[in-house]
Structure 1
């Protein structure tokens, strides 16, 4: 069972984009995923916002069903573009992200038949102005990692914050103020497992959806806006199936040892699968380089993940742009249990 779409839906030509000399960047994207429950999803798409080229990368990790994750991954990029009002600046797209998250959560909660929810992490790479904006709720963490030979001595930059109740004092304070009770599940008369908020029993109270857990589950995203650093760098987004299975240090070292983004994504998922393979595992790895580096070969024909066997509408093959080229390679391992 697949959730969402992956691939290039529209490749803007260089004539369409407002190019700032020296600022344009190229991105190479690779994703690897293992589906156990069918509640993870990812989507990568390049869009023009106000004439600027923006790479939109999305990872979702659903819970209590697939419905929220499926709806969010299929609509979030369109909502962000609508809410941006053709302004691709960091301040504008961060506000667009916030409005899109709130809209999506409200729509998911209108579904009276389901009570599912989902994490959502969105990285918007403005390749025209060299700017990175990230918005997220939940546990699908993202990091910026230098790709230089000396990167092992350089710190990674977290693009997301910790939202689990056990790890976040701010989240515990917030849900208690809204009337939630904190505690642990009881098994054989003894408390067990992670800290949870009751009623509902969630371990993370930042999500889209979760209709039955209102009012203390919040869809309000945390945001980071930053200029992209000089030199090559990786943007890494992964679901909790990665971060709960292997350490951050292992993930970062795996990226730096890999020959390219695809090898990095595959190796990370493989290690997470060996360590704790009982859940969905998704890793999205984006290598971003400055435009003075020679463009790579034209991108391969995109592979689309079509949800639940619904036939995908025909897509025109992307036209490679001479100075702004996004190569997307998607590798999906489908494991049904």
Structure 2
């Protein structure tokens, strides 16, 4: 899956500030209505969700709300999934300076997601429990959707005009060649389960530990190259809206993205989520916890009750939820400002390297608090922090003295994730 790296997409990205200015020029654009539902079939009891709709960017200011929809699929026990559900959001928000405007806040979000995921993993590993979890974490602020993911749960977006977009990457070793190369380069081994008689069975796994995912939170028993650094994608919907589907692998092992979108078209979110779970379980049987969250992002004037879908299930039926207003009310002014039904990409990055993910084109004073560790937010004295670019093999582009900076323990975490943990101690001995 080549989108994992994301660099070659950058030419078509639209700067966030441009999109938000466009939003201001057509002042009629209100925030969308957000309606969500979820459903699940539990087998092991290791899937957890977080649905939180009235989070405030500025505490006490109800106009700065955003919503969070997240799915945690635990393995080897539920501890990591529960811990992440309770702490990740605070760790993400804690990594964003408090006095930012909305567009600065949204622009800081991709880096804050990376910092929050790594901090959550680091804090959980200190508890020395061996469970792990996938995370698919969606933040919806107005028409802007930002998704961060590790593992193999997936987030899919259907725009109002019926196009289906993937907003997450699959971190299964079986599917992802780049991740296999990264792990072997860091010192891990990738291979199938050996039955002893020379036969190899099952999916590709990382050894030691035998995990088939290349990224997760937790999993301290499988070596540090299973990293918590998320793939992040940020998009802006047109004001026609769209539908988000977040599901654990129990759904995606049975259904393609298109099949999931099609099987519940025209249904309200709760029914839609139940339908997706039902289809998946019917197809595969209940082999795994199977969980689904459906979120409809709907223009405020289109909240008529959804029309039951026609018999023919096909593209365009989904639009019936987003019926255009009747023609009398649409004056020429309306037409001038109505955007095409497109989803505009703002940001995409999948690299596992912390230095790349915390680097920033913005003035750093806006993006990171000075003298704070960029990952765990601990305060550092001047000269105490280590630049995230320290020891980089690519000094040309970087200005290490500009930061961002990490505290000593986050620097150790970064080196371990890059497979460098043994090197520094080895050099000291010589």
> 2:120 corresponds to which residue?
104
Does the aligned pair in 2 maintain the 1:141–1:238 contact within 8 Å? yes
Q: Aligned partners of 1:248 and 1:289: how far apart in 2?
A: 21
- CA drift of 1:21 comes to 4.8
Q: Aligned partners of 1:32 and 1:287: how far apart in 2?
A: 15
Could you state the TM-score of these two structures normalised by the residue count of structure 1? 0.76
1:77 correspondence with 2:93: no
Could you state the TM-score of these two structures normalised by the residue count of structure 2? 0.60
Q: Aligned partners of 1:233 and 1:294: how far apart in 2?
A: 13
1:8-19 to structure 2, matched below 5 A, reads none
- CA drift of 1:68 comes to 0.1
Q: Which runs of 4+ in 1 moved over 6 A?
A: none
- CA drift of 1:291 comes to 2.5
- Of residues 240, 254, 257, the one that matches 1:245 is 254
1:40-189 to structure 2, matched below 5 A, reads 40-46=47-53, 47-50=55-58, 51=61, 52-86=64-98, 87=100, 88=102, 89-112=105-128, 114-127=129-142, 130-148=143-161, 151=162, 155-187=163-195, 189=197
Q: Aligned partners of 2:165 and 2:196: how far apart in 1?
A: 42
How many residues align structurally? Answer: 269
- CA drift of 1:83 comes to 2.1
- CA drift of 1:61 comes to 0.5
Q: Aligned partners of 1:181 and 1:77: how far apart in 2?
A: 32
Change (3 A) 1:193 1:293: same
Does the aligned pair in 1 maintain the 2:158–2:243 contact within 8 Å? yes
Deviation per CA, 1:204-232: give whole Å up to 9, x if none. 11000111122210000111111123313
Across the aligned residues of Structure 1 and Structure 2, the Cα RMSD in angstroms comes to 1.9
1:236 correspondence with 2:229: no
> Relative to total residues, which structure has the larger helix share, 1 or 2?
2
> Relative to total residues, which structure has the larger strand share, 1 or 2?
1
Change (3 A) 1:124 1:282: same
Does the aligned pair in 2 maintain the 1:29–1:286 contact within 8 Å? yes
1:266 correspondence with 2:274: yes
Q: Aligned partners of 1:295 and 1:44: how far apart in 2?
A: 24
Change (3 A) 1:240 1:294: closer
Q: Give 3-state SS (helix, strand or coil) of 1:182's partner.
A: strand
Query: Where do 5+ consecutive residues of structure 2 fail to align?
Result: 1-26, 306-430
Does the aligned pair in 1 maintain the 2:153–2:170 contact within 8 Å? no
Structure showing greater radius of gyration is 2
Query: Where do 5+ consecutive residues of structure 1 fail to align?
Result: 1-19, 297-337
Q: Give 3-state SS (helix, strand or coil) of 2:121's partner.
A: helix
Q: Give 3-state SS (helix, strand or coil) of 1:30's partner.
A: strand
- CA drift of 1:188 comes to 5.6
> 2:343 corresponds to which residue?
none
